[in-house]
C-alpha cells in the first residue's frame, strides 16, 4: 500500500519549498544590498539555490509517482535526489556567506523535512520490495 504519511509530507514539502525558495532569494537580495557582498561570493550562493530548485521538481515528481504506483525504482531515484538536496541545504545552512537567523530557521525546517522524508521513503521501499 502507498504510504500516506510520505504522501502528505511530499505535498507539504512542495508547498513549503516554494515559500522557502522565494524567502531565501529575497534574503540574498537583502544581504547584497545591506552588507558587502562581492560578486565572487554571491555567485556560488545563488547557484546552489537555483540548483536545489531545479533538483526539487523531479525529486517531488518521482516521489509522488513512486509512492502512488508503489514502484521502488522511482522512489529510489527520488531518495538519491533527496540526499543531494540535503547536501545543498546543509551548504546553505552552514557555508553561506552570511547566515542570518532566518536562514538558520528555514534551512533547519527544510533539513528536518528532508530527513523525515528520507526515512519514510526507505520504509516505503522496504514495504514495496517485499
Q: Which residues bind another protein (CB under 8 A)?
A: 27, 30, 35-36, 41, 94-105
Rounded Cα distance, 12 and 97, in Å: 29
- Of 48 and 60, the one with the shorter C-beta distance to another protein is 48
Rounded Cα distance, 130 and 122, in Å: 12
Q: Do the beta carbons of residue 81 and residue 89 sit within 8 Å?
A: no
Q: Do the beta carbons of residue 79 and residue 58 sit within 8 Å?
A: no
Q: For the CB of residue 89, give the shortest distance to another protein in the complex, in Å.
A: 15
Q: For the CB of residue 92, give the shortest distance to another protein in the complex, in Å.
A: 11
**Structural Rg of the chain based on CA atoms:** 16
Q: For the CB of residue 47, give the shortest distance to another protein in the complex, in Å.
A: 15
Q: For the CB of residue 39, give the shortest distance to another protein in the complex, in Å.
A: 12
Our measurement of the distance from residue 52's CA atom to the centroid of its chain's CA atoms, rounded to an integer in Å, reads 7
- Of 78 and 107, the one with the shorter C-beta distance to another protein is 107
Rounded Cα distance, 19 and 123, in Å: 28
- Of 11 and 95, the one with the shorter C-beta distance to another protein is 95
- Of 11 and 41, the one with the shorter C-beta distance to another protein is 41
Amino acid at each position: 500500500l502507498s504510504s500516506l504519511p510520505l504522501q502528505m509530507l511530499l505535498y507539504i514539502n512542495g508547498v513549503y519549498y516554494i515559500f522557502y525558495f522565494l524567502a531565501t532569494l529575497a534574503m540574498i537580495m537583502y544581504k547584497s544590498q545591506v552588507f558587502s557582498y562581492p560578486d565572487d561570493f554571491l555567485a556560488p550562493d545563488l547557484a546552489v539555490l537555483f540548483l536545489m530548485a531545479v533538483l526539487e521538481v523531479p525529486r517531488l515528481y518521482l516521489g509522488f509517482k513512486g509512492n502512488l504506483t508503489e514502484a521502488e525504482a522511482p522512489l529510489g531515484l527520488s531518495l538519491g535526489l533527496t540526499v543531494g538536496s540535503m547536501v545543498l541545504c546543509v551548504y546553505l545552512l552552514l557555508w553561506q556567506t552570511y547566515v542570518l537567523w532566518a536562514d538558520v530557521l528555514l534551512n533547519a525546517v527544510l533539513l528536518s523535512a528532508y530527513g523525515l522524508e528520507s526515512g519514510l521513503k526507505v520504509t516505503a521501499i522496504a514495504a514495496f520490495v517485499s
